[in-house]
Structure 1
Amino acid sequence: MGVLERTRFTALSGMQVTLLIATLAVYAALGALDVAVTHAVWLTAAIVLLLAGLVASFTRPSDGRRAAWTLGVLLADIAAITMMRTGMLDSISTISLFAVLPIVWLAGGFPRWGALLGIGSAVLLGVVPRAITGEWVTGRVELLQESLPTVALVILAIATNVGAQAFQRQRDLLDATLAAKATAADDAADRSALSRSIIDSLDLGIAVFAPDGTLRTANAAAHRFAELEGIRLATPRIRAETVPVFQSDRHTLLPDDERVILAAAAGVERTTRTVWVGGPGNQVALSKSSRHVVRSDGEMMGTMLVTREVTEEERSRQMRHDFLAAVSHELRTPLTPLLGHLDLLADDLAGDPRSRRLDVLHRNLERLSDRMDEIAAASEVEPQPVLQPADLAALVTVAVARRSAAASRRRIAIAVDGPTSLTLRADGARLTRAVDALIGNAIKFSPDGSTVVVTLRGDADAVELRVSDTGPGIPADEEHLLFEPFMRGRYAHENAIGGFGLGLTQAMGTVRSHHGELRVHSPDDTGTVAVLRLPR
């Protein structure tokens, strides 16, 4: 039996004791006042019935019988009070008011049909004693006085039942609300546990710091990566046992104030960077970044630290770099003297018809030299640009001069439109290669005798380079592959246009490292427009 049920039966027992004491008190008062009781047997029977109800109220029935048991005790109380009124009809006819407690319990404790029980009990209290004794009232005043207690009990039963039903509805609503909240809480707990399990199973380290720098949450991988640096996520700071961290070259120490883990704890965002942790021979490469976590209303919840081990990736990148560098060197070493001797032969055979054969050799060797340049560019590891003052107009001039010979052989003009100086902060060497790749692509895919237009523009925030040609354009099904390494379209294959398909890939890498934008598209399915935009 629950606490609520025990409380109800305790209250029921208390009511029985109250009714019994009140009845005995009335009986004693009548005796003290020498008031005659014409039907004493009914009063005695009432006391016996109340005693039986008291005993029954202390009994604890099984779960399925509690409601019926309580109803039986209450109806016994009504019967006892009816007997009391029958015995005291000539002396205290208003004794029926003793039925207030059981009628209230009936009407309130059984909301569905308690009103009928209460009304029926009130009416029986008024009618049954008169019917038993045969003493009916005849006068209007007496009838009114006789009816008032009954009417009062009926009203009380109705009001109590209405209130009980309203209370039951509110309770049902509250129970439904609490059940829904409990279900939602369980679902949220399940989702949280599932999310935690998924996050903990990842090799990706995720930690979130509150705005005040305290650690809110972190998965196992985040703790493991922090321990590689000798730093505890709960109290991130430099200690004596802190492991040295090197920049991407694996030799230059990373300043403490540039450690991403400390920046995240301080609420500072850091772009993704690769660092090497540990001494020579035992280094681990980690890719780290930090970013703010913001609610939908714009309020910052904290800063998230994301760490990923990239040791194998970096070693593969280094192997690729070493291989391409070796290939480029071995092929360029004999190529340079070949080009030099061809120039000397061209001078010796000036005006000789055989010099045209030298022109063929020279063009193909230059083509091979361009491929070597692409391989050399692909072999370079440039994780971070070195930003210095640069002039985009001057870089365009260099690229145009380098491509002018190839363009003139096909009678392609290069028109440059824009200011003579357009400064920005950039990595000049990398940006030169990107500009050269865009202009070189335009020349390769332009028809003979056409014009490549290079347009320069700038404002207070950014500079823009636009390279336009009148070539075949880019098929719609190839646009999403433009910046993939070694991507060469159908037109390049069908027309034997040389190249490894690395130019746009490297140009996009340069633009992204400068936090810029590069778009290549074909307006109206004719020609190609490449737009490079960089912050100043």
Structure 2
Amino acid sequence: MRSDGLGRPTTEYSRHESGPSAKPERLWLPGFGRFEGGRNSRRETATHQLPLTIAVVIIAVTAALLNPGLLLNGLFLAGLFLTLALFAACFLIPWGRLPLGAMLTIPILDLVAILLCRNGAVDIVPGLGALAAFPIVWLAASGLMPLLSAIVSFVGPFLIVLFPYVLDSGTMHASLVDTLLLPTMTLALFLLLRVLTLQMRMQRLELQQKADEVSALEAQSGDGERLLAAILDTVDVGVVAVDTGGRTLLSNRQQQLFQQGASSQDDDEDIRFFRSKGSAPLPESLHPIRRAAEGESFSNNLLWLGDGDRQRAVSTAARPMTGGDGGFTGSVVVFTDVTDLVTALTVKEDFVANVTHEFSTPLTSILGHLDLVLESPDVLTPHTRESLAISRRNAERLSILVSDLLSAASASISLHAKPTELTALLTSRIRSARTHATNAGITLVSEVPQCLWAIADPMRMGQVVDNLLSNAIKYSPDGGAVTVRAHAGKGKVLLEVEDCGIGMTPDETALIYGRFFRARSARESAIPGVGLGLAITKAIVEGHGGTIHCSSSLGTGTKFTVSLPTTMAQAPAVVVG
């Protein structure tokens, strides 16, 4: 066993060598030690020879006790001494320095020794020819010179059986069939062992390849785990993986810092969440880890973590994990520290609300006094009246801007939806915008039916139409036409405002409803605006239970489509968004 870079134990697989420097693979056969297709050491060669040597010695000792005359037979003694000499040669000859097939001389000479022993003791121990199986097994298992070994496996035993008939040629023809039995059996044994040897070697190669693949996959897995650990410890968000029981499977360094900062102890049970700063602790059923362990998926869930001065605002998100069978196995929960962002947004909104509130009172007074002065035509010269009218328009514009800022800073927008006839509302707003459009060289086109009903707040929807018409006129500096359409759909009413102005890119279209966002083309054209009108418009439309969609192309114009409900069941009478 060894340990990976994360301190976890992993199984170490041995690597198999290949190529010219690799050792030949070996095959184990019972009673014959390890046969190696390559250069054998002296000890291994002697191990191969040992079974035959022991068998011949036991036969010699046993036969000598039962029939001492056997030891006086010259052929038997020659075979016995040759067997002992071959066993000694296994230790004395440096086989590693000789050519690869030199060791095959031992099993070949073994057949000569068996021939001598068998024919010397044929009358006392006639079955000694079966000892030929030992060198035949050696030849087959070695895998060297297969053609020569096959020939020897037949010819050697054949000569062993044939030898007596050579001495007595008169009986040779009658017993020729008997002489083929032993060599045929040894040849079959050789072929069988050869096939088994090849099969075992192929299986060993397959096992070796699989072991190499497992080793490579293990190395890749270890590298992947180390890379994942490095990435998780680098990001500045807390990451926790939990199982279906809520037990932590993995957590990164940032999450551990969150826990240490939010609790005096390193125990998840001591960490409490709150809906808002200073509120009561979050119920256990709404705890993000508990929700994630139950398979719930969520995002942008703002909570406060910890107590007192340690309390931090975190945005939580969770996504479920699935196993190989597609079943739920746990979840990954992400914690992002957004304390600084929440604090900055709170300060900004408080500042905007306070400043706009302070502006509204003097602006109201200025507009009131300007109206009083302008209502006294006898005391004003034409030049003074014109100057005061310009002042009033700018003050009114500033009042509208302050109103937009107040609406944007407010956390809610009150709506009083009711059945509203939209044709009259649209006609009134188009009439009000016509002077502005004429001065800008814009032609207003109205494609509105004679009667069209929807569930809407007339004042708020008037604000929506004014914003869309104002933008269409303002962002068409080269003139052209602005078209207002309205028609009934399936369970909804569609309002469209389309212009032929400067347009926007697709990326900008996705961002236009954000507060204070302005397209690049608008900024480069020095068209005035603060980027609040569409944010307020979207809030009003969605407060009605409707939708707003923008399609635009840079340089060719923009079209806004507003969808409103037509029944009270689709939109509440009073909506606070």
* Conservation of the 8 A alpha-carbon contact between 1:208 and 1:302: yes
In structure 1, the residue matched to 2:228 is 195
Aligned-residue offset at 1:306: 0.8
Distance 1:457 1:373, change over 3 A: farther
Within a 5 Å distance, the mapping from 1:496-515 to structure 2 comes to: 497-504=527-534
2:152 paired with 1:120: yes
Equivalence for 1:345: 373
CA distance in 1, matches of 2:345, 2:74: 110
Q: How far off its partner does 1:499 sit?
A: 0.9
**Residues 1:314 and 2:347 are matched in the alignment:** no
TM-aligned CA deviation for residue 107 of structure 1: 0.6
Partner of 1:178: 211
Q: Does the CA-based 8 Å contact 1:204-1:308 persist in structure 2?
A: yes
* Deviation of 1:180 (Å): 0.9
| 1:365, distance to aligned residue in structure 2 (A) | 2.5
Write out aligned runs for 1:115-154 (5 A): 116-127=148-159, 135=167, 137=169, 139-154=172-187
2:521 is aligned, of 490, 510, 514, to: 490
Equivalent residue, structure 1, for 2:484:
452
Match of 1:530 in 2: 560
Asked if 1:262 is matched to 2:290, the reply is: yes
Specify the alignment match of 1:106 in structure 2: 139
Gaps of at least 5 residues in structure 2 are 1-22, 34-45, 438-443, 571-577
Spell out the pairing of 1:455-466 with structure 2 (5 A cutoff): 459=491, 466=495
**1:99 and 1:297, CA in 2 relative to 1: closer, same or farther beyond 3 A?**
same
Q: Distance in 1 between matches of 2:538 and 2:329?
A: 33
The answer on whether the counterparts of 1:276 and 1:283 sit within 8 Å (CA) in structure 2 is yes
SS of residue in 1 equivalent to 2:197? helix
Matched, 1:407 2:433: yes
CA 1:212–1:491 in 2, change beyond 3 Å: closer, same or farther?
closer
Residues of 1 paired with 2:133 and 2:497: CA distance? Answer: 99
Query: Which moves more between the two structures, 73-82 or 117-126?
Result: 73-82
C-alpha distance in structure 2 between counterparts of 1:534 and 1:163, whole Å: 83
Query: Normalising by the residue count of structure 1, what TM-score does the alignment of the two structures yield?
Result: 0.75
Call closer, same or farther: CA 1:379–1:128 in 2, change over 3 Å: same
Report the CA distance shift for 1:148/1:46 in structure 2 as closer, same or farther (over 3 A).
same
> What per-residue deviation string (whole Å, max 9, x for no partner) do you get for residues 314-366 of structure 1?
23323333443344344444322222222333433399894555543333323
**1:471 and 2:500 equivalent?**
yes
1:233-281 per-position Cα deviation (integer Å, ceiling 9, x unaligned): 98x55xxx5446242xx34335324332332233323331222334555
Q: How does 1:78-477 map to 2 (within 5 A)?
A: 78-88=111-121, 95-108=128-141, 110-114=142-146, 116-127=148-159, 135=167, 137=169, 139-230=172-263, 237=269, 241-243=270-272, 245-247=274-276, 250-253=277-280, 255-256=282-283, 257-279=285-307, 281-294=309-322, 298-349=326-377, 354=382, 358-380=388-410, 382=411, 391=417, 407-410=433-436, 412=444, 420-422=453-455, 437-438=467-468, 440-445=470-475, 450-454=482-486, 459=491, 466-472=495-501, 474-476=503-505
Q: Aligned letter for 1:290?
A: A
Amino acid aligned to 2:376: D
- Contact 2:541–2:547 (8 Å) recurs in 1: yes
Kept in 1, the 8 Å contact 2:95–2:102? The answer is no
Deviation of 1:531 after TM superposition, in Å, equals 3.7
Is the CA contact 1:86–1:130 (under 8 Å) kept in the aligned structure 2? no
- Given the superposition, is the C-alpha separation of residues 431 and 341 from structure 1 closer, same or farther in structure 2, using an over 3 Å criterion? same
Query: Do the aligned partners of residues 491 and 272 (structure 1) sit closer, same or farther apart at CA in structure 2, a change above 3 Å counting?
Result: closer
Indicate the SS of the match to 1:46. helix
- Range that drifts further, 155-164 or 122-131: 122-131
* Rounded Cα–Cα distance in structure 2 between residues aligned with 1:277 and 1:464: 45
1:522 maps to amino acid: S
Q: Residue 42 of structure 1 corresponds to which residue in structure 2?
A: 75
Contact 2:50 2:87 in 1 (8 A): yes
**Counterpart residue identity of residue 210, structure 1:** D
Structure 2 CA distance for aligned equivalents of residues 279 and 434 of structure 1: 44
In structure 1, what is the equivalent of residue 41 of structure 2?
none
Displacement after TM superposition at 1:503 (Å)? 3.5
Task: Give secondary structure in 1 for the equivalent of 2:303.
Answer: strand
Residue range with higher mean Cα deviation, 74-83 or 286-295: 74-83
Opposite residue 313 of structure 1, the aligned amino acid is L
1:243–1:277 CA contact under 8 A, matched in 2 = yes
User: In structure 2, do the counterparts of structure 1 residues 80 and 296 end up closer, same or farther at CA, with 3 Å as the change threshold?
Assistant: closer
Do 2:370 and 2:392's aligned partners in 1 also have CA atoms closer than 8 Å? yes
Indicate the structure whose relative CO is greater, using CA pairs within 8 Å and at least 6 residues apart.
2
Q: 1:517 to 1:219 in 2, by over 3 A?
A: farther
Q: Which moved more, 1:291-300 or 1:143-152?
A: 291-300
Q: Distance in 2 between matches of 1:524 and 1:197?
A: 43
Shift of residue 179, structure 1, vs aligned partner:
0.8
Q: What CA distance in whole angstroms lies between the structure 1 residues aligned with 2:554 and 2:494?
A: 20
Of 441-450 and 311-320, more deviation after overlay is shown by 441-450
**Matched residue of 2:314: which SS?**
strand
Aligned partners of 1:457 and 1:465 also within 8 Å: yes
User: By how many angstroms is 1:6 displaced?
Assistant: 12
Amino acid of the structure 2 residue aligned with 1:501: G
Task: Please tell me whether the aligned partners of residues 61 and 69 of structure 1 are also in contact (alpha carbons under 8 angstroms).
Answer: no
How far apart are the structure 2 equivalents of 1:436 and 1:232?
58
CA contact (8 A) 1:41 1:87 kept: yes
Q: Cα RMSD over matched residues? A: 5.1
Change (3 A) 1:392 1:255: farther
Tell me, yes or no, if the aligned pair for 2:154 and 2:187 is still in contact at 8 Å: yes
Distance in 1, Cα, partners of 2:109 & 2:287: 84
Conserved in 2, the CA contact under 8 Å of 1:442 and 1:452?
A: no
Identity %: 23
Taking the aligned partners of 2:90 and 2:461, their CA distance within structure 1 comes to 95
Letter in 1 for 2:227: L
Give the alignment's TM-score, normalised by structure 2.
Answer: 0.71
Taking the aligned partners of 1:431 and 1:141, their CA distance within structure 2 comes to 124
Q: Is the 8 A contact 2:429 2:462 kept in 1?
A: no
Give, in whole Å, the separation in 2 of the partners of 1:182 and 1:7.
25
Distance 2:118 2:545 in 1: 98
Q: Deviations over 1:124-175 (max 9, x none)?
A: 3433786799526564442221122112211221222122112212221221
Cα pair 2:293 2:331 within 8 Å, conserved: yes
* SS of match in other structure, 1:328: helix
Segment of structure 1 superposing worse, 403-412 or 199-208: 403-412
Residue 399 of structure 2 aligns to which amino acid in structure 1?
A: S
SS in 2 for 1:267: coil
Mapped partners of 2:308, 2:405: distance in 1: 29
Does the 8 A contact of 2:78 with 2:116 survive in 1?
yes
